[in-house]
Amino acid sequence: MDPLHLRSAGISVLLAFDSGEAEMVHWGADLGETLPDLRILRSPVPHSAHDRPVVAGILPQASSGWLGRPALRGHRPDAAGREVAVPGFAFSPALSVTSAETTARGRGARIVQGDAEAGLEVTTELVLHEGGLLEISHELTNCGSGDYQLDELGVVVPVPGDAAELLDLTGRWCRENHPQRQQIVQGTWVRSGRHGRTGHDSSLLVAAGTAGFSNRSGRVWAVHFGWSGDHEQYLDSLADGRRVLGAAELLGSGEIVLRPGESYRTPILYAAYSGSGLDGVTDAFYRWFRARPQHVTASARPGYRSRPVVLNTWEAVYFDHRLEPLLELADAAAELGVERFVLDDGWFRGRRDDHAGLGDWYVDETVWPEGLTPLIEAVTSRGMEFGLWVEPEMVNLDSDVARAHPEWIARPSAASPKDGGRLPLEWRHQHVLDLANTEAWQYIYERLDTLLRENDIAYLKWDQNRDLAEQGHGGRPSVHEQTIAAYRLFDALKSAHPGVEIESCSSGGARVDLGILQRTDRVWASDCNDALERQTIQRWTEAVLPPELVGAHVGPTHSHTTGRVHDISFRAITALFGHFGMEWDIRQATPAERGTLSRAIALYKQHRGLLHSGVRVNADLAEPNLAVHGVVADDGGEGLFSAVALGTLTAETPGRVGIPGLDPERTYRVEVALPTPDDGDWNTTFIQTSPPAWLAEGATASGRFLAEVGLPLPILRPEHALLLHAKAT
């Protein structure tokens, strides 16, 4: 069988079949049109080893000599013809290729491998997208006469031996997506997520790279697993020098049992190779996102609009849902130029705090005697869209629905509480509604559908505020079923209400992945609006997600999650590099703060087309407390950059700092966009007797000069930032 060679955007994926299995013998830089005879790649056979070269297929398996983590694990509970059931049959399949063909106009492949004796068949689909992102998934079919219990089906890609370092992300509530880095050594490195959702500590990106790889240099092989439930991500580094990066859904005991003829499809593994550091990986993901027909800034999408300026009411009023203060807030928002007003938690029956009401998705008549109509009409009459917070997958025990239907609450036992069946531990005074229960799913769908049909709602902030510990349905583990049911709920509501945008919030960034983002229009990266924390959270969230999908709000002067105090320009500049909004009682803003905020909103409206379509760049700097990042237009015509002092700097002055990503052959005018001398915090942003010569009047230089020589930065105070605009002359 001839090899398959997929090529796109300077990337090659080479698949070979001469061993009888499908092998990915290369994933990386483009190999050109002419290939040698691939038999030259056959490995030597060492002493004290298998008597033929070990095959590391796209489905690594012990039957081919692979001594690492097998891609497929499972068994048949009993063998046909046996009188007594003995589990463990078909535990080690020997899959071989039965067919392989190109798809997607030559940029994809469909490969079928089977083992007739084990009664198993796996179909693998690969697509190398135009921007260079590789997409891989498997579908396992039980072709036998008995049941097959699946324990794991992993998706892997090869990583070459010169990848020396591994970078992944971790975190917690209010500190999501922070990087950690280590040397690659022999053995299996595993990150497990058992949250029943993606998790605050889940790695959005796992990247293996050459020694010292950075933002803009080094070769990098990176993956993301597009799944919103339990999962594992791993790097398998064997004694023979081979390495694979992989991921798999983490299944509970007996969670997936395939009847004869049934199939299981893995979530998609997304893989990006870059020869120019992490920014090249980011570019591949951005181009994939922005090519989707449903993407929020796809120019071909019916009803396309720029990402609106948002005001969310949570940190302004919390549960205080009196109409008059909310109308005052709407007036202040409209005056500043807000385009979307979002009413957060507290509008439904019994919801005066977070102990009660979840599941009762009816407008609380005691608080809203005329329904939400007076507020919605006030908001829309002021030229803003109206948005609403919901948390459909959760339930409080103190709710009408829980009292009427205790059997709708997910639990490890098949018995109801009335029959002695215990519930999982509470989390934020709430439990999980069992969406695998068709009646519970239908109830939630009908309530949300009715809410959207009866009210002029353009946007749902969809929250999910707890882990799914001991998630069960009918006495069996059911994270997989719950995740699929949640996806189905999003899909059904999107189909019925295609004009409504949905944000994925999960106590901040605990459900940020490409599975949920196939169904939603943005994510809430973190419940933390502290601008200093947000600098890191947004930088690494946006390593995969383009900024138009990442909610970024100007929070209060005094952060309620960290206690820090930041000036308005630092908070505004930080929020500009995302889907910009505010979560603050702006009625309390001083005149100076309102002036800076107005300028920031005007800048966002002026540049959101650039911010939400351009190429993201991150400078490589030796100073750990200084960051320079920005967005450059695809045509190189302009760029918007932020220079940020994350803490005190080592040297007396930052020195000259290069501005990356501009066209080296063009000349640019660089000017300060924020803060300006008119802002009240202009003088407090800097610690200097005199500024750099160019600061007040701007600078003109070539893109090559700006990248290689740079500009002397002003001496920024710790936790302050400067916004720069570069425009080609």
Task: List the catalytic residues.
Answer: 463, 527
Q: Are 289 and 297 in contact (CB under 8 A)?
A: no
φ, ψ of residue 492 in degrees (nearest 5): -65, -40
E-strand stretches of 301-367: 310-312, 340-343
Burial annotation 110-120 (CB, 10 A radius, 16+ → b, else e): bbbbbbeebbb
| Token pair of 241 as six digits | 């020098």
| Token pair of 180 as six digits | 């950690």
| Token pair of 153 as six digits | 């089906």
- Strands 165-170 and 385-390 come out as unpaired
Mapped onto helix, strand or coil, the DSSP state of residue 555 is coil
E-strand stretches of 420-535: 431-432, 459-462, 472-473, 476-477, 501-504, 522-524
Inter-helix orientation angle 591-611/568-576, to 10°: 20
Handedness of CA 65, 68, 71, 72 (dihedral sign): positive
**Complete DSSP assignment for 12-66:** EEEEE-TTSS-EEEEEEE---S----GGGGPPP--SSS-SSPPP--SS--GGGT-
Residue 664: how many CB atoms within 10 A of its CB?
Answer: 12
Inter-helix orientation angle 438-454/479-496, to 10°: 30
Mapped onto helix, strand or coil, the DSSP state of residue 431 is strand
Q: Which amino acid is at 287?
A: R
Mapped onto helix, strand or coil, the DSSP state of residue 406 is helix
Chain center to CA of 541: 7
Residue 381, exposed/middle/buried by CB under 10 A (0-12, 13-18, 19+)? exposed
- Strands 268-274 and 134-142 come out as antiparallel
Residue 627 pairs with which residues in a beta bridge? Answer: 644
| Token pair of 220 as six digits | 């990098």
φ, ψ of residue 548 in degrees (nearest 5): -65, -10
Mapped onto helix, strand or coil, the DSSP state of residue 105 is helix
| Token pair of 522 as six digits | 């943005």
Q: Which amino acid is at 110?
A: R
| Token pair of 432 as six digits | 């999980």
Q: Are 168 and 222 in contact (CB under 8 A)?
A: no
Q: Which amino acid is at 550?
A: V
Residue 29 pairs with which residues in a beta bridge? Answer: 11
Q: Are 343 and 373 in contact (CB under 8 A)?
A: no
| Token pair of 173 as six digits | 């509530």
Nearest CA among 603, 605, 666, 661 for reference residue 631? 661
| Helix H or strand E segment including 8 | strand 4-8
**Who contacts 498 (Cβ-Cβ below 8 Å, separation ≥6)?**
none
Residue 336 CA to residue 333 CA, distance in Å, equals 5
**Complete DSSP assignment for 506-523:** BTTBSS-STTGGGT-SEE
Residue 76 pairs with which residues in a beta bridge? Answer: 89
